[in-house]
Structure 1
């Protein structure tokens, strides 16, 4: 996937698609993956929802997988001068 700076600054869709593809590769039920973007307190928040059985896989042991996803978003944010946050939503939070 190619991401250029002009599309990222005007439209968050490429970042959303990028995160969605990474998450789909990590979980068993790819069809249950939902990524929503919302602007919150000057930061773009990506809300990720997966099947209840895949939540642990997305978080990882001691939160390592989730922390790695957040690190990737931080690197993208530095490049495009945007702040990104990642929230993993449980079934009861939707």
Structure 2
């Protein structure tokens, strides 16, 4: 569910949606989502002063709040 949410949000932001990749790493108490996008689209995902990245993380936290697990979004370049 988290993976689909992040993919949907990021694909609507970038110029090259086919290059969006989300890798899920499950842990006991947390889930790590590794996000990769085209090099030209990194700025669009992070935003000025990290505002867009922070907004995506906030939506992700709200969506996973009931599960009790912590979800972390890492944007890889």
In structure 2, list runs of 5 or more residues that go unmatched. Answer: none
Superposed CA RMSD in Å reads 1.2
Q: Which has the higher strand share?
A: 2
1:28-60 CA-to-partner distances (Å, cap 9, x unmatched) read 000100001002462101000000000000000
Structure 1 gaps, min length 5: 1-13
User: Aligned residue pairs: how many?
Assistant: 77
TM-score, normalization: structure 1?
Answer: 0.76
Extract structure 1 runs of 4+ deviating beyond 3 A.
Answer: none
Whether 1:42 and 2:29 are equivalent positions in the alignment is: yes
Normalising by structure 2, we get a TM-score of 0.92
Bigger mean CA offset, 41-50 vs 18-27 = 41-50
Larger Rg: 1
